[in-house]
Amino acid sequence: MSAVGYPLVLVPVAAVGLLAIALRPVTRPTVGRRRLALLRAALGTGAFAVLTVEALGAARLLTLPAFAVAWLLFLSGAAVAAGRRRRRDAARALVRADAVEVLAAPEPALVGANAGPAAGTPLPPPPAPPAAAGRVASRRAGWSATLAQAWRTAGRGERLLAGTVGGLLLVELLIALLAEPNNFDSQTYHLPKVEQWVAQGSLEFWPTAIHRQVTIPPGAEYLLLHLRLFTGGDALHNLVQWAAGVGVLLAATRITAQLGGGRRAQLLTAFVLATTPMVALQATSTQTDLVCAAWVACVATVALDGLHRRADVGAILTLGAATGLTALTKTSGLAAVGPLLLLWGLAQLRLARTAYSRSRRQVRRTVAGSALILLVAVVVVGPFLARVTAEFGHPLGPPRLRESIPMERHDPPSLVVNALRIAHTAFDTPLAPLRRAGAEAIIGGAGLLRVDPQDRATTFGQERFPVPSWYPDEDRVAFPLAGALAAIGAAVALTRPGRISPTRAGPLRAYAVVVVAAVLLHTAMIKWQPWGNRLLLYALTLAVPLAGLWLDALFRRAAGGVGGRRPVAAGLAVTVLATCALAGVLAVSYGFPRRLVGAGSVFTTTEWDTRFLRRPQWTEEFRWAADAVRATGARRIGLVQQNDNWEYPWWLLLRDAGGRPPELVALQSVLPERPPAHPASVDAIVCTGSRTACTALVPPDWRVQFRSYVGYALPPGS
């Protein structure tokens, strides 16, 4: 890490803190005011980070000095905004205090028009400090006092829930800091695209054999780019997903509170979500699903505010930023954003009709607000979509991308079979007989519906259903416990919402409808794939608050002692929660490919062994080829690889003694308008995957060396 990187890394954190002060909700009462302020600040900071990359990329200024100036200016603006907000709050508090003092003061008995106290009469004591001043002082005490008060008043069970969540977050933070990035997709395209942006100083597309480096939305990688420029490396890259995990918990617990859940319901929500292995494992990686889930959850919690209150400009801008960030991170998240915005719009129209004389103006305001949401979203995601459209003639990229992940058949039988396969993979357990029985039932049912369960139009690539997904692997681990609890909560919220939230039955049912709609849209839009569980992470995040509310209602009724079966059900729920805790602990302890204990522990594994934990047999081959190429002094190096090969190790292994990255150019290109480099224009060639593909591109007089997966080629005399 560079010396400059230490203070610069803290700038975004400080900016979020200052913006949280500046963006505190004014409307009272507001559920979860501090959490909403933090989520607003995160969205504002995220939008700034994205727009900074776009603006400086257009100017070919993706450099450390340019980013440092931009962030220092942003921090200054956040500090000014926070200072103004503090002064406004203090002024409002004084005004309220004066009003209270005037209203509470007794009417003096006047002897004359200008009568005053009689001579010798002692003056009354100065008034006591107004209550408002106490409230201001209390607010200044900050989160520490609030958390301390909550801890003192919490029961033993609530403390256990909160302690488990906090402990998991701290352990995940430790792993995120200690482990080098080793996610498979990150080796292929997440991190190579960051390195390519730094190398060329812009976001312009480049020739590559891996189309995902330029076609997959880059929202999470834009955030990584800031850390890469600040630190000069990837030591802090895992912190983006860890921060997203914290954001997911803040948003999910606030959603629970908005739907009528008290402190215990919110803690149950945080507990179920934090102990879900997929969440725990992704919080220490450079994958992108948790970032997407965080932005979607922000849309959800702000949209729920609009069910009972007319949205102001700030809420509309927040919804627009969250929508744009979702689209720029992972377009699958829009399957939830769409229904959420529809719910928000319908609620705003309903509120507009409460005063008939003003309804037309309010309807126009709602329409204008909806247009502004879309406009802000387009500002965030539009530049990337424009580049993709200009390159491929379609905003969703080349046909290869549009046909690989989205469903190509939408007849009802195919949709049903796809939904059943996705559910089977999501609810997988270590019980192999149960897995086989479920898969056989689905395959048999598909036959009755005359649908091929392995149809390429509904199945990704050459994969075949079913696959085991219970193992704690960040890319495919199932979530049977959290999923089952969320499904039960959704069913109760749809059928008997008053049982779990008597004061918010209507909003609860509406929210449950949105969650179910998002899941159905996902299964209708996305093909089944072995690692599809991580794509559902945003939907799980939205659904877990329903689980928290249902569990809280179950414990509440059991405490009342009504019904002989209710204490038994509560005991079963406690057992399920204990199993959730065990699953979360095992995920961070033994999860793959980053774990605390056992083979591959972050405490005992070397840097390069950690980076290659997914494919340990490649470690020595990559280093062998890189050592040979570096020994020649080659700086312009050609790449020969296939779509799913690892490119990122070359960016690290081929750096010179001073740490300067190499100039890597592709000798193949899937971009029609971006021709590859000519083999004669490079100093050396490195290859992965296919020896045949490698030798086909190497000049005839070059010397080729190839092992099982990795090879290199050098010109004569090298």
Rounded mean pLDDT, 411-425:
98
Q: Are residues 523 and 567 in the same domain?
A: yes
Token readout for 631 is 């020994």
Determine the Cα–Cα distance for residues 31 and 117; give it in Å rounded to an integer: 49
Rounded mean pLDDT, 137-154:
67
Contacts of 443-451 with CB under 8 Å at 24 or more apart are 445/417, 445/420, 446/413, 446/417, 449/413, 449/416, 449/417, 450/413, 451/413, 451/414, 451/417
> What does the angle CA 622 – CA 2 – CA 15 come to, to the nearest 5 degrees?
115
- The partner residues of 688 in beta bridges, in order of sequence, read 710
With respect to residue 459, please indicate whether it lies within any of the assigned structural domains. yes
Q: Are residues 445 and 560 in the same domain?
A: yes
In this predicted model, what pLDDT tens digit does every residue of 372-388 receive, in sequence order?
Answer: 999 999 999 999 999 99
Q: Are residues 416 and 549 in the same domain?
A: yes
Q: Which DSSP category does 106 fall into?
A: P
Q: Is the Cβ–Cβ distance between 481 and 578 less than 8 Å?
A: no
Rounded mean pLDDT, 619-638:
96
Q: Is the Cβ–Cβ distance between 34 and 367 less than 8 Å?
A: no
In this predicted model, what pLDDT tens digit does every residue of 497-508 receive, in sequence order?
Answer: 999 999 999 999
Predicted TM-score (pTM) of the model is: 0.93
- The partner residues of 459 in beta bridges, in order of sequence, read 528
Structural domain of 670 = 610-714
Helix (H) or strand (E) holding 711: strand 710-714
With respect to residue 93, please indicate whether it lies within any of the assigned structural domains. yes
Q: Are residues 563 and 622 in the same domain?
A: no
With respect to residue 51, please indicate whether it lies within any of the assigned structural domains. yes
In this predicted model, what pLDDT tens digit does every residue of 664-693 receive, in sequence order?
Answer: 999 999 999 999 999 999 999 999 999 999
Q: What single-letter amino acid sits at 349?
A: L
Strand order in the sheet with 636-640: 663-666, 636-640, 684-688, 710-714, 703-706
Of the CA atoms within 13 Å of residue 632, those in its CB half-sphere come to 21
Q: For residue 76, give every residue at least 6 positions away whose Cβ sits within 8 Å of its Cβ, in sequence order, or none.
A: none
pLDDT at 558: 82
pLDDT bin (cut points 50, 70, 90) of residue 136 is: very low
With respect to residue 17, please indicate whether it lies within any of the assigned structural domains. yes
Q: For residue 388, give every residue at least 6 positions away whose Cβ sits within 8 Å of its Cβ, in sequence order, or none.
A: 214, 215, 394, 395, 396, 397
Q: Are residues 620 and 541 in the same domain?
A: no
pLDDT at 628: 96
Q: Is the Cβ–Cβ distance between 229 and 198 less than 8 Å?
A: yes
Q: Is the Cβ–Cβ distance between 272 and 547 less than 8 Å?
A: yes
Contacts of 489-498 with CB under 8 Å at 24 or more apart are 489/543, 489/545, 489/546, 489/547, 489/548, 489/549, 489/550, 489/551, 490/515, 490/516, 490/543, 490/546, 492/546, 492/550, 492/553, 493/546, 493/549, 493/550
Torsion, Cα of 92, 97, 98, 102 (10° steps)? 140
Determine the Cα–Cα distance for residues 600 and 661; give it in Å rounded to an integer: 28
Q: Are residues 431 and 554 in the same domain?
A: yes
Determine the Cα–Cα distance for residues 277 and 283; give it in Å rounded to an integer: 10
Determine the Cα–Cα distance for residues 481 and 504; give it in Å rounded to an integer: 26
Q: Are residues 627 and 562 in the same domain?
A: no
| Domain endpoint, select from 103, 134, 150 | 103
pLDDT bin (cut points 50, 70, 90) of residue 369 is: very high
Check whether 364 has a pLDDT greater than 70.
yes
With respect to residue 605, please indicate whether it lies within any of the assigned structural domains. no
Check whether 218 has a pLDDT greater than 60.
yes
pLDDT at 132: 45
Q: Are residues 568 and 622 in the same domain?
A: no
Q: Is the Cβ–Cβ distance between 294 and 326 less than 8 Å?
A: no
Determine the Cα–Cα distance for residues 686 and 645; give it in Å rounded to an integer: 12
Check whether 95 has a pLDDT greater than 50.
yes
With respect to residue 155, please indicate whether it lies within any of the assigned structural domains. no
pLDDT bin (cut points 50, 70, 90) of residue 559 is: confident
pLDDT at 142: 57
Determine the Cα–Cα distance for residues 244 and 376; give it in Å rounded to an integer: 21
Check whether 139 has a pLDDT greater than 60.
no
Q: Are residues 435 and 527 in the same domain?
A: yes
Rounded mean pLDDT, 463-479:
96
In this predicted model, what pLDDT tens digit does every residue of 494-535 receive, in sequence order?
Answer: 999 999 999 999 999 999 999 999 999 999 999 999 999 999
Determine the Cα–Cα distance for residues 677 and 336; give it in Å rounded to an integer: 42
Q: Are residues 633 and 564 in the same domain?
A: no
Token readout for 350 is 């309903």
Average pLDDT along the chain: 91
Q: What are the phi and psi torsion angles at 595 (to 5°)?
A: -145, 165
Check whether 249 has a pLDDT greater than 80.
yes
With respect to residue 455, please indicate whether it lies within any of the assigned structural domains. yes
pLDDT at 113: 43
Q: Are residues 573 and 621 in the same domain?
A: no
Check whether 138 has a pLDDT greater than 70.
no
Rounded mean pLDDT, 303-318:
94
Q: Are residues 524 and 422 in the same domain?
A: yes
pLDDT bin (cut points 50, 70, 90) of residue 563 is: low
pLDDT at 150: 77
Structural domain tally of the chain?
Answer: 3
pLDDT at 98: 62
> What does the angle CA 283 – CA 285 – CA 287 come to, to the nearest 5 degrees?
100
Q: Among 81-85, 277-281, 353-357, 653-657, which is the least confidently predicted range?
A: 353-357
| Domain endpoint, select from 577, 601, 634 | 577
Percent of the chain with pLDDT over 70: 91
Most distant CA atoms of the chain, gap in Å? 116
| Domain endpoint, select from 86, 103, 120 | 103
**Following DSSP, what letter does each residue of 635-646 receive, concatenated?**
-EEEEE--TT--
Check whether 411 has a pLDDT greater than 60.
yes
| CA 84 remoteness from chain centre | 31
Q: What are the phi and psi torsion angles at 482 (to 5°)?
A: -60, -40
| CA 239 remoteness from chain centre | 12
Q: Burial-class residue 464 by CB neighbours within 10 Å (0-12, 13-18, 19+).
A: exposed
pLDDT at 333: 97
In this predicted model, what pLDDT tens digit does every residue of 96-110 receive, in sequence order?
Answer: 666 656 556 665 544
What SS3 state is found at 260? Answer: coil
In this predicted model, what pLDDT tens digit does every residue of 146-179 receive, in sequence order?
Answer: 777 777 888 899 999 999 999 999 999 999 999 9
With respect to residue 387, please indicate whether it lies within any of the assigned structural domains. no
Rounded mean pLDDT, 61-85:
96
